[in-house]
Chain A
Amino acid sequence: MVPTFLGITVIAFALARAAPGQPVALEGDAGLRASGSTAAQMREYRRLMGLDDPLLTGYARWLGHVVRGDLGDSFRDGRPVLVLLGEALPVTLLLTLSSLLLGFLIAIPIGIVSAARPGGLLDRAFGAIVFLLYSLPVQWVALMLVIAASGTALPIQGLHEEGSRSLGDLAAHLLLPVACITYGSLAVLSRHLRSSMLEAMGQDYVRTARAKGLPERAVVLRHALPNSLLGMITLFGLTFPALASGAVIVERIFGLPGMGKLTFDAVLGRDLPVLMGAITVGGLMTMAGLLLSDLLYAAADPRISLRGNPA
Chain B
Amino acid sequence: MKPGLARRFARRPRNLVGSGMVAALLGVALFADFIASDRPIVLRRAGTLYLFPNLIGFRSLREFTAADLRPGDWALWPPFRNGPYSIPKLAELRGPLPQPPTAEHPLGTDSAGRDVLARLVHGARTSLGVAIAAAAVQVSIGLLLGVLAGYLRGWLDVAITRTAEVLLSFPLLLLLLAAQGVLERTTLFSTMAVIALSRWADTSRLVRAEALRVRELPYVEASRALGSSRLRTLWVHVLPNCLSPALVAATFGVGSAILLESALSFLGFGAPEPTASWGLLMANGFQDVLDPNARLLVLLPGLAIFLAVSAFNLVGEGLRDALDPRDQGAVARSAFITLDQNRGLSPIPKGEGGSWPAT
Contacts and interface: CB of A to CB of B under 8 A. Distances in A.
A304 B269 CA distance: 44
Contacts of B269: 267
A290 B343 contact: yes
Contacts of B255: 135
A248 B170 contact: no
A192 B334 contact: yes
Contacts of A249: 173, 263, 266-267
A309 B174 contact: no
B354 A200 contact: yes
Given A188-B334, A191-B335, A135 B173 contact: no
A188 B339 contact: yes
Interface secondary structure of B, over-half rule: helix
A249 B305 CA distance: 16
A200 B354 CA distance: 7
Contacts of A282: 170-171, 174-175
Contacts of B279: 139
Given A195-B334, A282-B175, A21 B184 contact: yes
Interface string A12-37: 00011011110000000000000000
B171 to A, nearest CB: 4
Interface residues of B, number: 67
Interface residues on A, range: 35 or more
A278 B174 contact: yes
A309 B340 contact: no
Interface string B334-359: 11100111010111111011111100
Interface string B172-196: 1111011111111000000000000
A267 B177 contact: yes
A263 interface: yes
A260 interface: yes
Interface string B296-313: 001101100110011001
B334 A135 contact: no
B45 interface: no
A208 interface: no
B306 A8 contact: no
B289 A245 contact: no
Interface stretch (B66-74, B128-136, B159-167, B227-235): B159-167
Contacts of A228: 355
Given A131-B313, A195-B334, A238 B343 contact: yes
B282 interface: yes
Contacts of B309: 135-137
B347 A294 contact: yes
A137 B170 contact: no
Nearest to A198: B330
Contact of A241 (B168, B263, B355): B168
Contacts of A302: none
Contacts of A141: 302
Nearest to A296: B347
Given A196-B355, A241-B168, A242-B172, A137 B332 contact: no
A36 B115 CA distance: 39
B6 interface: no
B130 to A, nearest CB: 14
Contacts of B60: none
Nearest to B312: A135
With a 10 A CB-CB cut-off, give which of A140, A198, A260 has the most chain B CB atoms: A140
B262 A139 contact: yes
A252 B165 contact: no
A227 B263 CA distance: 37
B174 A248 contact: yes
Contacts of B355: 196, 199-200, 227-228, 230-231
B169 interface: yes
A303 interface: yes
Interface of B: 162-163, 165-175, 177-184, 255, 259, 262-263, 266-267, 269, 279, 282, 285-286, 289-290, 295, 298-299, 301-302, 305-306, 309-310, 313, 330-336, 339-341, 343, 345-350, 352-357
Given A275-B181, A294-B345, 12 more contacts: A16-B182, A19-B183, A135-B313, A136-B302, A137-B263, A139-B263, A140-B302, A195-B333, A264-B267, A267-B177, A286-B170, A290-B343
